[in-house]
A = this chain, B = another copy of it.
């Protein structure tokens, strides 16, 4: 057989999914005690670094759909972690911002996630970290068809 399908043992795609799955599991493990999901955390972290992001921008940044992010934002707003203006100043875009409570909640989560990332990086040399960054970016571009 010359056509033997995608060999899972040597497939970079499979390994990529495996690594991503391990990372997600590790993040869920440390975020669960804080009552926070990965998407929940991603949303707060995005807002901390880029205040005023809209619902759609947050969705793209957290790799979920607008609809998913919308229900999350409604919950976060209800619970006082973020604020959004009742009406859009321009267009329909509602810029979102963290409240003091949101920032406080994020601090613990961010520390927990940092520890996970640190554990991951600890097994890599500086050179490998740079290589990984470059290679992963290349994968993203080719998969999205940016170079066509």
Contacts and interface: CB of A to CB of B under 8 A. Distances in A.
Interface size range on A against B: 35 or more
B140 A5 contact: no
Contact of A131 (B23, B116, B128): B128
Contacts of A11: 117
A121 to B, nearest CB: 7
Interface in A20-38: 20-27
A46 B5 CA distance: 10
B142 A122 contact: yes
A141 B119 CA distance: 10
Given A23-B17, A116-B13, A129-B12, A6 B110 contact: yes
A110 B5 CA distance: 6
A51 interface: no
A19 B131 contact: no
B117 A6 contact: yes
